[in-house]
Amino acid sequence: MLRSAILNAQLTRILEYVVKNWVPAIYSGAESVEAGGLMSYGVNVVDLDRRAAAYVDKILKGAKPGDLPVKQPKKFEFVINLKAAKQIGLTIPPTYWLGQIR
């Protein structure tokens, strides 16, 4: 599930449907996993905010926004909700616990 204000507004309903129908789903943000989703893989939003602040600092010091390079995200996170996995009958072997386990 992609990050979207519309989808996030319906997150509870989506999670209820997914659990009820045993649908393994992956989300783009850890907040979905914290709300009960199975797993997420996406950019680390805190890192993006920190990097954006550096851009704001450069602009406030006189840099022209058009002269600043466009950068790609550097930090990604993989989060698994073991409780949600158990609810849909999915076993996540410890060898796959590469990221954060909630």
DSSP string covering 41-82, please? EEE-HHHHHHHHHHHHHHHHTT--GGGSPP-----EEEEE-H
* Residue where the block lists tokens 């990604």: 76
- Say what the pTM is: 0.68
- In the chain, domain spans: 5-101
pLDDT in tens, 11-62: 889 888 887 887 778 888 888 888 888 889 999 888 999 999 999 999 999 9
Integer Cα distance of 15 and 90 in angstroms? 16
